[in-house]
Amino acid sequence: MALGSRFDRLREVFLRSPIAGPLVTLVVVFILLSFVPNFLTLRSLSGIINAATLTGFIAVGVTLLMIAGEFDLSVGSIMAMGGYVFGFHVVAGGSPWVGLLLALLVAGVMGLINGLILVRTGIPSFIITLGTQFMYTGVLWFYSRAQMLQITEDLPEFAILNGRIEWLSSWLPGANVRTAFIWLVLLVIVFQLVLVRTRFGNHVFAAGGNKAAAAAQGVLVNRVKLACFVISGMCAGLAGVMLFAQFKTVRIATGAGQELQAIAAAVVGGTLLSGGSGSIVGALIGVLLISMLRTGVVLTNIISADNFPAVVGVTIVGAAILNDFIRQRR
Amino acid sequence: MENISRRFGSIVAVEDVTLAIYAGEVTALLGDNGAGKSTLIKILTGVYPPTTGRIYFKGKPVQITSPRMARDLGIETVYQDLALVPLMSVARNFFLGREPVKSIGPFRFLDLKTMQERTAAALRDIGIEKFSGGRSVNEPVGKLSGGERQSVAIGRAVHFGASVLILDEPTSALSVAETEKVLHYTRQAKERGLAVIFISHNMSHVMRVADRYIVMRHGRQVADYRKGELTEQDLADLVTGERER
């Protein structure tokens, strides 16, 4: 009896959680794909994780911002900027750690600009960041002198930021997980805690759920939104740094399309497009799910791998319907 | 509030209104759309500064410059439909803007247990039995009925020691049974010594709950009567302008 009620309670907590739908989808897709030859190999699985990692960093910030009721379409260009700031600093012989801080600073300022335009004008952030996306790319043309940046040198710091985890590869042959994934998981845990266990997180939900009610209770809605824009920018900048640490190259087109991938991951992960509800852990599930499907498409070869976006499209709509269904039944 | 006026450009929204609100009374504020009720309330709650005039709170002159400051003074507003965040739990809504925290090292985390317990206790205290189980406070507000939402918002204001409670159209869009509850909690707030301002279009709800009637028309205060001095028809005539004052 006691066990039964404890189970009921657990079930209730699970069903009420925004990640219930995404988690079920992830498991179902995983089980279905496990019948595909070569899917259940360490190589495929670590490939899925690696392909999801960089988008994952962006999705953390974008999801937080979406819960606060705003969008950031400029994250792709901020990611490229982060890569360039970090890269230029390293190429000039500077410390990669200082480069990391500089990249975060510049990316944070770019996020702040988005946020300031929002709170000063009240124009929808979707429109603002649609514009700043191109403006930031424009700035990047000058800053990068329209050149792709590439280095050949391998720095030990790169291995810490986003290198292969060698001991894992030697222990499990074929496994090729990178350190950036560990940083991503830590970042997800930190922001999930911030979201559900702090005052700031409570105010993020309130700002996205009902701005007027939040303001009437003394929540400084504009300040909350500004902070979310800065965090979103910094997460995108961090993604740029991680990209450079892995590939040792960055170009102006780096990050293009990432904004929609991140929004897709957020929605697949149970975050409402209209704000006020969502989960950072859900966003991680979202990027992993999309990446898993991409690998599935490549392995099954039923449709061309180039036609993968069609699969993402089906996933987004399907996940949105499923999440909505679960939300209704709560 | 003394000689309060508010202009928006050349439009006079509130003109030379002087009124006093007393503790332990329900004061009804009536008037047709555009009569200046909302503007007057927004001045009192710090949303707009008055163009001219002064506000005294407990006998002292105050300048209310923000909603937050109004709240710190103990002036709580329950806006129609805007009081709560539907997607958030009852407990999170209850403590929104004044969440209790506990420190773990340098970090401060929400004290969720305290939030749930105190919310359940406070709602039980004002007689909202639905939450006595201690379970439902985790339900999203969106699952509550309109009357329950208003009740939670009123309970919140009472619990956090408001001295002035402003209810903006609290019974519009509610069923009869729900309205009864809200009127009941309104009386209860009054009995606890709060000054309640009850804004409504519904004359019969006003007649049943208010001790005093203030009527506004075209930005001016045209009537200030006590319970028993007017019939429901008199009140309606004052609002429409059928009766001058």
- Distance (Å, whole) CA A204 – CA B85: 11
Give this prediction's pTM: 0.88
Q: Cβ B86–A277 below 8 Å, yes or no?
A: no
Asked if pLDDT for residue B132 goes beyond 60, the answer is no
Residue of A nearest to B91 (CA): A202
Q: Cβ A199–B110 below 8 Å, yes or no?
A: yes
pLDDT of residue A3: 58
- Is A72 in a helix, a strand, or coil? coil
Domain ranges, ordered by start, for chain B = 2-85+146-240, 88-139
**DSSP per-residue letters across A284-323:** HHHHHHHHHHHHHHHHH-SS-GGGHHHHHHHHHHHHHHHH
CA distance A184 to chain B (A): 21
Q: Does A300 touch chain B (CB under 8 A)?
A: no
| CATH no., domain B2-85+146-240 | 3.40.50.300
List of chain A residues whose C-beta atoms are within 8 Å of the C-beta of residue B99: 199, 202
pLDDT of residue B130: 66
* Phi, psi (degrees; rounded to nearest 5) at B202: -90, 105
- Is B180 in a helix, a strand, or coil? helix
List of chain B residues whose C-beta atoms are within 8 Å of the C-beta of residue A276: 85-88
Q: Cβ A218–B97 below 8 Å, yes or no?
A: yes
Q: Does A150 touch chain B (CB under 8 A)?
A: no
| Cβ contacts of A80 within 8 Å, gap of 6 or more | A137, A140, A240, A250, A251, A252, A253, A254, A255
pLDDT of residue B193: 86
Compare CB distances from A199 to B77, B79, B101 and report the shortest one's residue. Answer: B101
| Cβ contacts of B1 within 8 Å, gap of 6 or more | B17, B18, B19, B20, B40, B43, B44, B53, B54, B55, B56
- Contact residues, chain B to chain A, C-beta under 8 Å: 67-68, 71, 77, 79, 82-88, 92-93, 95-99, 101, 107-110, 112, 138, 140, 143
Work out the number of other CB atoms within 10 angstroms of the CB of residue A169. Answer: 15
Sheet holding B164-168, edge to edge: B75-78, B164-168, B195-199, B25-30, B212-217, B220-226
Q: Does A216 touch chain B (CB under 8 A)?
A: yes
Q: Cβ B87–A277 below 8 Å, yes or no?
A: yes
CA distance A121 to chain B (A): 18
Among B64, B87, B102, B165, the strongest candidate for a mutation testing the A interface, having the largest count of A CBs within 10 A, is B87
The ipTM is: 0.85
CA distance B52 to chain A (A): 24
Q: Cβ B87–A16 below 8 Å, yes or no?
A: no
| Tokens encoding B160 | 């956090």
pLDDT tens, residue order, chain A (330 aa) = 455 677 777 777 777 778 888 888 899 989 999 998 889 999 899 999 999 999 999 999 999 999 999 999 999 999 999 999 999 999 999 999 999 999 999 999 999 999 999 999 999 999 999 999 999 999 999 999 989 999 998 899 998 999 888 888 888 887 888 999 999 999 999 999 999 999 999 999 999 999 988 988 889 999 999 999 999 999 999 999 999 999 999 999 999 999 999 999 999 999 988 899 999 999 999 999 999 988 888 888 777 778 888 887 888 888 888 878 877 765
Tell the burial category of B242 from Cβ atoms under 10 Å away from its Cβ (0-12, 13-18, 19+).
Answer: exposed
Contacts A–B by Cβ distance under 8 A:
76
CA distance A253 to chain B (A): 38
- Distance (Å, whole) CA B24 – CA B194: 5
Q: Cβ B88–A205 below 8 Å, yes or no?
A: yes
Compare CB distances from A206 to B88, B138, B143 and report the shortest one's residue. Answer: B88
| Owner of token pair 């510049």 | A106
| Tokens encoding B101 | 């925290």
B48-62 tens-digit pLDDT: 888 888 888 888 888
List of chain A residues whose C-beta atoms are within 8 Å of the C-beta of residue B98: 217-218
